[in-house]
Structures are given as structure tokens and as C-alpha cells.
Amino acid sequence: MNNNMGLLLKILAHLCLCAGVHGDPRVSWLPCQFTDERVFTNKDGHTETQHLPRDAALQFGEAGDAAMDPRAVTFLVTGSKLDLRRFVEGVEAELLECEVRRYSTEGLAVHWPVQGVQGYNRWFSCTLKHANGLFTVTGFLRQLSDQQPPGQQDYRSWPAIRDGETLTTSVALVLKTQTPSVKAALSSQQKLHCQFAVDHRGPNLTVEWHRQHRGERTKLFSHNPRTGRGEGAGVKLRSLEGGDASYGIPFAKMASEGTYICSVSVLPLFVTLDISLTIEEPPRVSLNVGPSLSLQEGDEQRVSCDAVGYYPLDVKMLWHVQDPATAGRRVGAALPTELQNVLLSSHRDNQDKTYSLTAFFYLQASLRDSGKQFTCSVSHPALRVPIKKSFILTVEEPSSWMLNLGLGFVVVALLLVLVVLLRYLNSARNRSRNQKKPY
């Protein structure tokens, strides 16, 4: 009975969610996962954290509103200068993945400079991701409390949150990227998007960018708009005033690969977003023969297909043979046959850190293959569709060639005999004229 009631409540909540989505472009309710924590000391004396997934809801409204799902932990987001929904505007609720976590300030109790706010704060981070990886949004939810934080290790004594409890919060800080994963070609220009907003004017914040690759972490940029102090480049300082902390890469190269980390710090909050940048350079493909190849039956020709300048390493090269007369048919067309005698060279390293590979085979000319189309197909992650290069084979019979050659020899021989005979007859005529007559 309880399970059926819970299922009914979830269905009703989902229907309300759909009604809110279609009636208002802003989402009014979202199912979430609340990843709760239990921190304890194990038998070896080490601190461990147990993550406890719980049903939750992110609900937008006013203080005192009834929970849409009374069985879940409800984070009721009330009005502030920041509307979290503005950062996911136009996206259907079904495409949003929501997770809420507790946030530890390590016992740092800092007055949050919002007019009329007194007392202490409890903090939660709320992350919204697009199901297709189009963006990531992290917002900080502030819950007012009259209880002072327990100290530096506040995560050891989290206040209990009951199932069905409603926590009234407001959004204090938001960080968003529209480029959580970037695939860049060599020499291309890239903009790593990072946008932030705070619920009060003139916050004492610091914006930083780091790049992490193969265990090494490098600071690329740091700036505090209030003090004007900073280092590095890549971010337009004028854009920071409007909350745009996007990082520009003017010329992507192999050394640009890695995880780029955009971070914003406003005490006691610190939030980061990871942006993965990978280099994908498509191959240039060519054959060592032209679009047509003529051979005599029995001849052997080395045919090679070169894929040059690709990255990363995973490339696939295949040779196929097919009758071009049936290649364009949708019905009844014979499938291309993959050649089995293809050999691959070793991957060759280029100076720009790209790779090259050759797929070749030795073609034994046969009359049965005359008129067929041979195709090299190259697949690579940087290509939407494989690159294909083809040639048509023409094979001639050796007998016709020998006959033509024999006839040529016969004609030449007859001409030589004719020349010799003419010279002999001419010589005999001259001798006959020079002989004296007996009378």
C-alpha cells in the first residue's frame, strides 16, 4: 500500500512538473538526487565518507509553499536577485539532471553581505547538467540557521535531514559553462565558456583558470576585480564586470590538450567547473595511383593508401572491391568485398605530433577484375563519415599485345627484305648497263 501511494505521488508530481514546464518557460519543480554524507572513523583510525543517495526535489516558489513531493527532501528555492532557472531557460525539464550535495565551509563563518540577513548559513551545492552534455550549472543554496557552525570540521557533525523535510533556501552564487567538453582542430581558435553571477553587488571574488594534464596543474589566469590584482592572460578583464570569465585559446596545438578548470571564490564559497579539451585532427588521404589504372593480365602493382596528419592515434583503414555498375543501386546491389591481403605500415610520428599510416596491397592483374572499383576507406574520430578514395582497374589480354608486337616485327622484316631486294635489283641493272656489247 505504501509503495503504491509513493508511486502515485511521484506520478502526480511529474504531471505537475510537466504542466509547469508547458505553462511557464521556467521550470517550477525538478526531481533531484540528494547525495547525503555520513563521515566516520574506521577501525584503522582513518576518516571515511559514506555517500547516501536520497530522493529529493528542487522546488521554486515562496516560503511556506507545500512540497510537491511530500515524501522527498524538498529544497525550496525562494526569490533572490539570482534565479537559477534563468541559466537553464528554454530546456525541457526531462533533459535536466539534478544533484544536491552538502557543502562544508570548514568552519569558516563569514557574514553573507545581503541586506536584512542575520544569523548563520548552511550551504548546499546544486548541479544541473544537460542530458546531452550541452552545459553544466552549479549553484549554491543558502539556508538560514540560528545555530552556529560546529567548528573547523563541520562535516563530522552534519545536522540530520529527515525524509519529507522542506529546507527553505535562496541562490547565492551560480557558475555555468556551455562548453563542458570541447573537441578542437589544430590551429583553431577556441573559447572556453565560463559565466558567473552573485546575488549582491561588488562581491570580493577571485576568478582563476587552471589547466591540468597528465598530473601537472598549471595556473593560467587569476584576477580579483575589486583589488585589480591578477596574473596571466586569456580572459578579457572588461568582460569580468558582466560575469563573463570565458578563457580564449587563439591557436590550439597539441600542448593545449587537458582539463581546464574555471573557479570562482567568494568567501566562504569556492566553486569550480571542469572543461575537457581534446585535439582531434582529421587525416588527409591519398592514393599512389590515379582514378584509373591499366595493367596487362599477370602484371603486379603495389597500391597504397596514405592517411597523413591525424590525431589521436585510433584510425581505421580498409580496402574494398566492388562492381561500380551496382554500387549506386539501392536494391540488389552486391556488398563491397573487403580485401584480405592488405598490409599496414607502422604509425609514423610527424613533427607536429600527428601521425601517419599506410595501407597497401599487391594487386595481381586478372581479367575477372577488369572494370572493378577498388576503394580505400579511412575512419577517424575527427571525421563524421569515412574518407573514401577509389580507382577503376582495367586489365588487357597479353595475347593481343603479343600479336600486335609480332605483326610489327613481320612488317619491319618485310620492309627490310624489300629494301634489300630493291638495292640488289638496282645494283644488277647498273652492272648490266656497264657490260660491253659483242658487236
Q: Which residues contact 33 (CB under 8 A, 6 or more apart)?
A: 53, 54, 55, 56, 98, 99, 100
Residue 153, pLDDT above cutoff 80:
no
Q: pLDDT at position 12, please?
A: 45
Position 284 pLDDT exceeds 70: yes
Residue 237 dihedral angles phi and psi, to the nearest 5° = -65, -35
Return d(Cα 369, Cα 361) in angstroms, integer: 15
Widest CA span in the chain: 161
For residue 159, whether the previous peptide bond is cis, meaning omega lies within 30 degrees of 0, is no
Assign 25 a pLDDT band (cuts: 50, 70, 90): low
Q: What is the band of 80 on the pLDDT scale with cuts at 50, 70, 90?
A: confident
Element of type H or E holding 183: strand 181-184
What cell was used for 7? 508511486
- The SS3 assignment for 395 reads strand
Give yes or no for a contact between 232 and 213, defined as CB atoms under 8 angstroms apart. no
Specify the pTM: 0.78
94-114 confidence digits (pLDDT tens): 999 999 999 998 877 778 887
Instruction: Provide the pLDDT for residue 108.
Output: 77
When mean pLDDT is compared across 264-278, 291-305, 385-399, 411-425, the lowest value belongs to: 411-425
Q: What percent of the residues of the chain are helix, what percent strand, and what percent coil, each to the nearest 5?
A: 20, 45, 40
CB atoms within 10 A of CB 343: 11
Give the DSSP H/E element, type plus range, for residue 412.
Answer: helix 398-434
Average pLDDT rounded to a whole number, residues 212-229: 91
pLDDT score, position 88? 93
Residue 352 pLDDT > 70: yes
Question: Is 50 exceeded by the pLDDT of residue 5?
Answer: no
CA distance 35 to 54: 6
For the cut 90, the answer to whether the pLDDT of residue 319 exceeds it is yes
Q: Which of 57, 66, 59 is nearest to 20 (CA)?
A: 59
Q: Is the pLDDT of residue 438 over 70?
A: no
Q: How far apart are CA 389 and CA 320, in angstroms?
A: 10
pLDDT in tens, 59-79: 999 999 999 989 999 999 998
Work out the average pLDDT over 254-260: 95
pLDDT band at residue 11 under the 50/70/90 scheme: very low
- Domains belonging to the chain, first-starting first, are 1-174 (no CATH), 178-279 (2.60.40.10), 284-396 (2.60.40.10)
Strand partners, 137: 128, 176
Q: What pLDDT does 161 receive?
A: 93
Strand partners, 387: 378
Instruction: Tell me the β-bridge partners of 198.
Output: 173
DSSP secondary-structure letter at 382?
T
pLDDT at 22 over 50: no
Compute the average pLDDT of residues 184-193.
95
State residue 40's pLDDT score: 84
Q: What is the pLDDT of residue 423?
A: 77
**Cell numbers at 407, concatenated:** 605483326
The region of weakest confidence among 17-21, 171-175, 244-248, 272-276 is 17-21
Query: What is the distance between the alpha carbons of residues 219 and 231, in angstroms, rounded to a whole number?
Result: 9
**CA 354/CA 279 separation, integer angstroms:** 10
Confidence category of residue 439, pLDDT binned at 50, 70, 90: very low
Mean pLDDT of all residues in 296-317 = 95
Distance between CA 54 and CA 33 in Å, rounded? 6
pLDDT exceeds 60 at position 348:
yes
- Cα(165)–Cα(157) distance, integer angstroms: 19
Q: In terms of pLDDT, which residue wins out, 89 or 101?
A: 101
Average per-residue pLDDT for the chain = 86
Q: How confident is the model at residue 435 (pLDDT cuts 50, 70, 90)?
A: low
- pLDDT score of 20: 41
Rounded Cα distance between 48 and 317, Å, is: 49
The pLDDT value recorded for residue 399 is: 61
